Amino acid sequence: MDFQKEQQLRSRLARNIRRLRMSRSPCLSQKMLAKKLGVTQKSISRYENARCLPPAHVLVALAEEFGLATDALFMERLPQNIKKKEGITTNEDITHSDPQTDCRRKKQTDG
């Protein structure tokens, strides 16, 4: 695989992990997601900043956590009507969040 193609895959994955994590209600912190996947918060940060690709077992766990096929994590656009454990979220909810209720604006605790 050439460098440019790998960078493109990293970038798509990074964007999608962050969108999926932040679209949860309540949204997941990097630390909470890391705990669910059995990795460190630093690993999640690296994935979301496109510094590296996660190993295969983490990709599978990510896909299962968000109710997706593993290849969907690398798509330019996420599939419509993504079903999740805490409810149902659509692509519209992910890309057009209300700034007043956007979970990124609230301080989150990892209780």
pLDDT digits (tens, 9 = 90+) for 27-49: 999 999 999 999 999 999 999 99
pLDDT at 25: 86
pLDDT band, residue 60 (cuts 50/70/90) = very high
Residue 93 reports pLDDT greater than 50 = no
CA dihedral defined by 24, 87, 52, 2, rounded to 10 degrees? Answer: -120
Q: Are 30 and 17 spatial neighbours (Cβ–Cβ below 8 Å)?
A: no
Residue 5 reports pLDDT greater than 60 = yes
Report how far residue 95's alpha carbon sits from residue 32's, in angstroms, rounded to the nearest whole number: 22
User: What one-letter code names the amino acid at 14?
Assistant: A
Average pLDDT over all residues of the chain: 80
Residue 47 falls in which region: left (phi positive, over 0), alpha (psi -120 to 50) or beta: alpha
Indicate yes or no: pTM above 0.75.
no
Residue in this structure with the two tokens 């990097």, named with its chain if needed: 30
pLDDT at 81: 59
